[in-house]
Amino acid sequence: MLSYRQELWFNLPERMEFRNITPEVEKCLRDSGVREGLCLVNAMHITASVFINDDEPGLHRDYKKWLEELAPFDPSPQRYHHNRTGEDNADAHHKRQIMGREVVVAVTEGKLDFGPWEQIFYGEFDGRRKKRVLVKIIGE
């Protein structure tokens, strides 16, 4: 069995932003040599996410609006206990919890085995600093 590991690094300028990372993950898959197996992609920071969905700008705007309604940014310690530690990113932790930590995609005949319109996204909820995503591919 083959095993491949790669870190992808991102430094997105916005506090909340989504980036399609499918091309980077596909490159990792090509580099791995795996033809049949599984590909794990996970955010290695607790204020970021990896998820699968459609690459449609209106949907992304809807997600941002919805997430902000569920867990609004508020740096004050009155709204979130976490911010009493000196942090201002409690909302980002909640948003990550909703959007998820990782995805696993089947690898079939050397390709990511997606359904229609599926793409892999990095979701940033406390941006403006360098963060990483782990890509781990196993198979034959």
Q: How far apart are CA 90 and CA 5, in angstroms?
A: 30
Boundaries of domain holding 23:
2-139
Count the domains in the chain: 1
Q: Residues 104, 10: contact at Cβ < 8 Å? A: no
69-93 per-position pLDDT tens digit: 999 999 999 999 999 999 999 999 9
Given pLDDT bands bounded at 50, 70 and 90, which one contains residue 109?
A: very high
pLDDT of residue 121: 98
Percent of the chain with pLDDT over 70: 100
What mean pLDDT, rounded, does the chain reach?
97
- For position 71, which CATH number holds? 2.60.120.460
Q: How far apart are CA 30 and CA 26, in angstroms?
A: 6
Q: Residues 37, 138: contact at Cβ < 8 Å? A: yes
Percent of the chain with pLDDT over 90: 100
Amino acid letter for position 72: P
Report the predicted TM-score, pTM, of the whole model to 2 decimal places. Answer: 0.96
